[in-house]
């Protein structure tokens, strides 16, 4: 079973297309939310994501941009982009975003896994450190592979006997497509973030995604990818849409 994991595309068409162009063959597609928000191609991205299908969890920006939550908890720039997205999106995409399910989601077939935007206990939680990861991984009743997004940080956490290990894929910097395979261990439980396709925040501007592979009883492995894309084109769309310039500049910094 090969599962392609996408998260936090954030209406970045160029980054999404670049990831899909190099994505390996897979049986299952999972999207961990925040399809829209921040960047300037919400209709194009919704169309492509809807056509691809698969399992999709809603993110906080999907709710904000489709009017399900008010914007008072968003910072000014996020709120401006959410408002712009809401008036730019075609009605059918707004309806589709509003109907996206809340995590945790599970798949019917295949190895047990759970999909969330923030965390299993709170769809809006940022799992940024070992204590947040531990609180979620030691909670009973969850799958031993939990895939999450929201932080825009690729990697995650492993848990065994009360101890948490931080998982950070390391790549050579530069402009190449790079990948890093992390074998998973028997007996450990995992929270894994494929990283953000459309707005990475770990200092590497390249678009991020991951592939999870697991066969039978084997613990499986996750391969993390970084993919260069036409960031100038994405920035130009943001500027042309009169969205805040900071949304364009941050893309090249990976912050
Ligand atoms: Zn996000």
Mind listing the pLDDT tens digit for each residue in 61-79?
A: 999 999 999 899 899 999 9
Output the CA 16–ligand 1 centroid distance in Å: 14
Q: Which contiguous run of DSSP H or E holds residue 106?
A: strand 105-106
pLDDT averaged over every residue in the chain: 96
Judge whether 237 and 41 are in contact, CB under 8 Å: yes
CA distance 13 to 40: 8
Output the CA 182–ligand 1 centroid distance in Å: 24
Share of the chain above pLDDT 90, in %: 91
Output the CA 80–ligand 1 centroid distance in Å: 15
Q: How many C-beta atoms lie closer than 10 Å to residue 143's C-beta?
A: 17
Q: Can you give the pLDDT at residue 57?
A: 98
Backbone angles phi and psi of 84, in degrees to 5: -60, -45
Output the CA 217–ligand 1 centroid distance in Å: 33
Question: What is the residue whose two structure tokens read 């940024």?
Answer: 128
Output the CA 162–ligand 1 centroid distance in Å: 29
Output the CA 67–ligand 1 centroid distance in Å: 16
Output the CA 18–ligand 1 centroid distance in Å: 18
pLDDT at 110 over 70: no
Judge whether 98 and 68 are in contact, CB under 8 Å: yes
Output the CA 37–ligand 1 centroid distance in Å: 8
pLDDT at 221 over 80: yes
Core vs surface per residue 81-97: b (16+ CB within 10 A) or e: bbebbbebbeeebbebb
Angle among Cα 164, 169, 171 to the nearest 5 degrees reads 160
Output the CA 34–ligand 1 centroid distance in Å: 5
Q: How far is CA 176 from the centre of its chain?
A: 21
Output the CA 57–ligand 1 centroid distance in Å: 12
Output the CA 199–ligand 1 centroid distance in Å: 8
Q: Can you give the pLDDT at residue 108?
A: 73
CA distance 195 to 239: 25
Candidate CATH numbers 3.60.21.10, 2.40.30.170, 3.30.365.10, 3.40.50.920; the one for domain 2-252: 3.60.21.10
Domain residue spans in the chain? 2-252
Output the CA 201–ligand 1 centroid distance in Å: 10
Sequence-ordered list of residues with C-beta below 8 angstroms from that of 215, at least 6 positions apart, any chain: 1
Judge whether 126 and 118 are in contact, CB under 8 Å: yes
Output the CA 205–ligand 1 centroid distance in Å: 15
CA distance 147 to 5: 8
CA distance 149 to 31: 9
pLDDT in tens, 10-48: 999 999 999 999 999 999 999 999 999 999 999 999 999
Tokens found for residue 30: 């999972």
Output the CA 181–ligand 1 centroid distance in Å: 24
């Amino acid at each position: 079973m090969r599962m392609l994991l996408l998260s936090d595309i954030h209406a970045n068409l160029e980054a999404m297309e670049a990831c899909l162009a190099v994505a390996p063959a897979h049986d299952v597609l999972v999207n961990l939310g925040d399809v829209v928000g921040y960047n300037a191609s919400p209709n194009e991205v919704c169309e492509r994501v809807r056509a691809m299908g698969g399992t999709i969890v809603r993110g906080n920006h999907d709710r904000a941009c489709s009017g399900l939550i008010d914007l008072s908890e968003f910072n000014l720039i996020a709120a401006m982009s959410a408002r712009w997205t809401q008036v730019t999106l075609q009605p059918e995409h707004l309806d589709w975003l509003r109907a996206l399910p809340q995590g945790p989601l599970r798949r019917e077939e295949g190895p047990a896994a759970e999909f969330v935007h923030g965390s299993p206990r709170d769809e809006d939680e940022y799992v940024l450190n070992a204590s947040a990861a531990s609180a979620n991984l030691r909670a009973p009743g969850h799958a031993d592979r939990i895939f999450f997004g929201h932080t825009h940080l690729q990697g995650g956490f492993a848990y065994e006997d009360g101890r948490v290990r931080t998982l950070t894929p390391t790549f050579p910097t530069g402009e190449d497509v790079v990948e890093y395979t992390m074998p998973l261990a028997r007996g450990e439980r995992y929270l894994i973030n494929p990283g953000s396709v459309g707005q990475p925040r770990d200092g590497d501007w390249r678009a991020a995604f991951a592939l999870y592979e697991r066969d039978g009883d084997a613990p499986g492995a996750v391969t993390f990818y970084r993919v260069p894309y036409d960031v100038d084109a994405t920035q130009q769309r943001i500027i042309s849409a009169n969205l805040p310039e900071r949304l364009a500049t941050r893309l090249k910094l990976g912050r």
